[in-house]
Amino acid sequence: MPSADLASLEAKLNYTFRNRELLIRALTHRSFTSETKTPETQLDNEQLEFFGDSILGFLISEILLARHPGVPEGHLSRAKSYLVSARWLYRVAEEIGLGDFLHLGRGEERGGGRVKPSLLSNAVEAVIAALYLDGGMEPTRNFVRNRVYSDDVISAARDGEHVNYKGELWERTSTEKLPKPEYVVVETKGPVHAPMFLIEARVGSAFTGRGHGTSKKAAEQNAARAVLQAMAENSPVYNSDSKYP
């Protein structure tokens, strides 16, 4: 059973449900309903997940268009693709501690369901649907804007970078119970109108990587990529920018 109360989750969602049953359903995995079989627990969150996926795609598109007029469609598409991905939604679930509130069957509980990326990302979509069904578009939009959307992703897309390195690093450190990544500006070069940033990404004292870019966000993506390379090679330091001037 969940180890946290729903009021604390509502505080993180910045919304109080009028019909708590919708929220409970959004948090109920099919493994729980298959074991209990009682009338009040017959519904799991799979249909809400289906609905939430569509709502999320619409709202992310709306936010991207409103905040980034004039940005090429290709950049927006890359950013949207990542912001609605299971990998990114897993990060959102981790940030709000969603796993603590899930209703899971005994087998799923023993199997680590509360930290399983696919299960958590699906639950985020179900919660989005529950927000919409209970309160309409505005609280749903607020949640997506404040908890799901990130300027980091669109900045990386505008600089032509892959948008997944920071997300991949976040997911890996969460899965492996490592310290969360930190990003530090090491150096800034060039004129004010065309700066070049050198940023160091750190995962505790175990792994360090450096990357550069024409924006801080792009440099952070390259630094995160360097840390992932260091982790892959089991090397404490990796510098992806040996040609940095």
Long-range contacts of 74-82 (CB under 8 A, 24+ apart): 75/154, 75/157, 75/158, 76/154, 76/157, 78/157, 78/163, 79/153, 79/154, 79/156, 79/157, 79/163, 82/153, 82/163, 82/164, 82/167
Please say if 125 is a catalytic residue: yes
Nearest Cα residue to 76 out of 87, 88, 60, 92:
60
- Which of 44, 49, 108, 125 is catalytic? The answer is 125
Please say if 159 is a catalytic residue: no
**Contact present, 195 and 214 (Cβ < 8 Å):** yes
> If phi over 0 gives left and psi between -120 and 50 gives alpha, with beta otherwise, what is residue 70?
left
- Which of 46, 53, 109, 168 is catalytic? The answer is 53
Round to whole Å and give the CA distance between 81 and 28. Answer: 26
Any idea which residues carry the catalytic annotation?
Answer: 53, 125
